[in-house]
Structure 1
Amino acid sequence: MELSGKVTIITGVSKGIGRATAEALLAKGALVAGWGRTAPENLTHENFQFFECDVRDEVSVQEAFVNTQRELGKEVHVLVNNAGIGNFGPIDGFSSEDWHAMFDTNVHGLFYCTRAVLPQMKQQKLGHIINVASLAGTAGTANLAGYCATKYAVRGFSDALFKEVRPQGVRVTCVMPGSVETNFNGATPGQEPDPHKIQPEDIADTIVHALEAPQSTMISELQMRPTLPK
């Protein structure tokens, strides 16, 4: 897809992968609607608009979508379902609140956002949905059972969805990064890039690569790992 002038919605836009993806798409000339609970700091661009949205709240998602169409036009070409959280720990010490928070954000929020944009994308017979999962959606890890469960769900949802919507010209890509240097799970990125972790900008570039693939081609899954493991 040619990205210049295309309307793109990105969830979890305030930092990390979401912000990096917003900047990469703005550099390609896209019109970016950033959805999140907090606006990204110092991201000022004539083609960027922030819309307050809590993806866990179905009504909040609907309002953000209505506001996006009002401000940027009816057509919506790209949705990047990036918002996500991870709460780690042993299952027998895990709170129900933390469990539900992950599913509400990582799975239910992704469903609300996808359902909002699909009718318009189908009508256009053009659209691309990027679901940011994780390598945790391919293999279980001790003390990450809840997080893995949400990312397995995202991968399964993506696999089923692309088969459902590709006859209408809508593409779906599931991006599964390994260790990323972000603020995820309370971590603080270092001043120098960690050579054993993927940088958010690298994932953003990969998302752009999938979006720019010829319309006759759909990259359904992408697994990403650091070249130099610890």
Structure 2
Amino acid sequence: MNLEGKIAVVTGVSKGIGLATVKALLDKGMQVAGWGRTAPELQHDNFHFFECDVRYNESVQRAFDQTIARLGVHISVLVNNAGMGVAALLEETSLDEWHTMFETNVNGIFYCTRLVLPGMKELEEGHVINISSIAGTTGVEGMSGYCGTKHAVRGISHSLYKEVRSYGVKVTCIYPGSVQTNFFDNIDQVIASDNMMRPEDIASTILHALESHPNYHHVDIEVRPLMPKGKIKK
């Protein structure tokens, strides 16, 4: 897809992968609508922030309506990046923590994607990027709730791409390993380090998928740090 001048929506833009993706899309000449609970520290003529909590359909609908009113009717790219995780054994996970993970990581994708698909199908061009996790391909002890949500993202993505591919719309699911973000702030067992991937690395992968030939479709992309524990000391 030629990205210049087209409209993208990115969720969870305050920092990390979301903010890095916004910057990468702006560099390609896109008009970018950032949906999030907190505005990032970013000033750019083509960046437009709309307050949005993807856990709530009403909030997503309002952000969508505001985006269409300001930028136009044809959204070409949606990056479903907003997400959160809690590390806890299943029986020690609170109801609020469980519900918040599923409302954010799963329901949020549904609320956002259902609104942009009709326009993409009408345009016969569009790309939905869903950020899952390595946790969406395997089980992780002490993170059953988070893994459950990311497995759901995988299932949604695999089903959806088959629903929309004949309309010229792509759906790509990305499974990052550890990334240097604030995701680990509330996970005592792991500390973000330079051995992890950078948010910019994930943004570059997103760009690669978006700019591919119209008939070339990345369905799944798994990315990991090369040396997650650093170089072996000789």
- The answer to whether the superposition gives a TM-score over 0.5 is yes
- Separation in 2, partners of 1:145, 1:83: 19
Q: Deviation of residue 92 (structure 1)?
A: 1.4
Equivalent in the alignment of 2:109: 110
Q: Which residue of 2 aligns with 1:176?
A: 175
Report the equivalent of 1:186: 185
After superposing on structure 2, the runs of 4+ consecutive aligned residues of structure 1 that deviate more than 3 Å are none
Structure 1 residues 4-43: aligned runs within 5 Å = 4-41=4-41, 43=42
- 1:8-28 CA-to-partner distances (Å, cap 9, x unmatched) read 000001110000000000011
1:227 and 2:226 are equivalent in the alignment: yes
Name the SS of the counterpart of 1:136 in structure 2. helix
Once the two structures are superposed, the pairs formed by residues 81-92 of structure 1 within 5 Å of their partners are 81-92=80-91
Are the equivalent residues in 2 in contact too, given 1:137–1:176 (CA < 8 A)? yes
Alignment partner of 2:115: what SS? helix
Q: C-alpha separation between the residues in 2 aligned to 1:104 and 1:62?
A: 15
Task: Give CA-to-partner distance per residue, 1:25-76, whole Å, 9 cap, x none.
Answer: 00111110000011001x0011100001110110111111111011001111
Alpha-carbon displacement from aligned partner over 1:108-161 (angstroms, at most 9, x marks no partner)? 011000001111111111100000000000010100110000000000100000
TM-superposed CA distance for 1:187, in Å, is 6.0
Partners in 2 of 1:195 and 1:95 — Cα distance?
32
Contact kept, 8 Å, 2:86 with 2:186, in 1: the verdict is no
* Residue identity (%): 56
Q: Give 1:194 deviation, angstroms.
A: 3.4
1:73-98 deviations in Å (ceiling 9; x for gaps): 11110000000000111111110110
Tell me how far apart the structure 1 counterparts of residues 142 and 157 of structure 2 sit (CA, whole Å).
25
CA distance in 2, matches of 1:50, 1:182: 21
The secondary structure found in structure 2 opposite 1:87 is: coil
Gaps of 5+ in 1: none
Counterpart of 2:215 in structure 1 is 216
Normalising by the residue count of structure 1, what TM-score does the alignment of the two structures yield?
A: 0.96
Please tell me the residue identity of whatever aligns with 1:20. Answer: A
Matched residue SS, 2:75: coil
Tell me the CA shift for residue 195 of structure 1: 3.7
The 1-side partners of 2:63 and 2:119 are apart by: 15
CA separation of 1:226 and 1:184: change in aligned 2, threshold 3 A: same
Supply the AA of the counterpart residue of 2:97.
Answer: D
Contact 1:87 1:185 in 2 (8 A): no
Contact 1:85–1:185, Cα closer than 8 Å, also in 2: no
Alignment partner, residue 66 of structure 1: 65
Work out the number of aligned pairs and report it. 225
Structure-1 separation of matches of 2:185 and 2:193: 16
Residue identity opposite 1:40 in structure 2: P
Distance in 2 (alpha carbons) for counterparts of 1:195 and 1:180: 9
Alignment partners' CA distance in 2, 1:210 and 1:81: 14
DSSP 3-state at the match of 2:175: strand
d(CA) in 2 for partners of 1:185 and 1:132? Answer: 16
- 1:45-56 matches, cutoff 5 A: 45-56=44-55
Letter in 2 for 1:74: V
Aligned-pair Cα RMSD in Å: 1.2
Give the TM-score taking structure 2 as reference length: 0.94
Q: Which residue of 2 aligns with 1:206?
A: 205
